[in-house]
Amino acid sequence: AQSVTQLGSHVSVSEGALVLLRCNYSSSVPPYLFWYVQYPNQGLQLLLKYTSAATLVKGINGFEAEFKKSETSFHLTKPSAHMSDAAEYFCAVTQLRGSSNTGKLIFGQGTTLQVKP
């Protein structure tokens, strides 16, 4: 069965430091991949998506992610953390039926990002 693994349930960085949140997926055919952010008591906000176009994807709020098929990874980065980036981040992939994407998302367990002043 497909799965998504986010390495590190908690990541702590200093304001202005590099943010790196890791995501690996398991499927032989690359699915569509997404990163979402969730602030307390809120829904999920789409940060960026990979849908088989450019492997380096730029999203909102200065975030970007690089799709690496050989590593089955889709890590999220931001060059300089801001206090407002403190939230929970989820990596998600579309469920595959054969080689076709369905409308179902499979989520990782989430990574809580703490930004220290």
Strands (E), the chain: 3-7, 10-14, 19-26, 33-38, 44-50, 56-58, 64-68, 73-78, 87-97, 100-107, 111-116
Query: Contact letters (x/-) for other proteins, 24-53, by CB under 8 A?
Result: --------x-x-x----xxxxxx--x-x--
Output the smallest distance, CB 69 to other proteins, in A.
Answer: 18
Output the smallest distance, CB 107 to other proteins, in A.
Answer: 4
The total number of residues written for the chain in this structure: 117
Piece in contact with other proteins (CB under 8 A), picked from 20-28, 60-68, 74-82, 102-110:
102-110
Determine the 3-state secondary structure of 83 from DSSP.
helix
Determine the 3-state secondary structure of 71 from DSSP.
helix
Which residues here bind other proteins, judged by CB under 8 A?
Answer: 32, 34, 36, 41-46, 49, 51, 90, 92, 94-95, 101-110
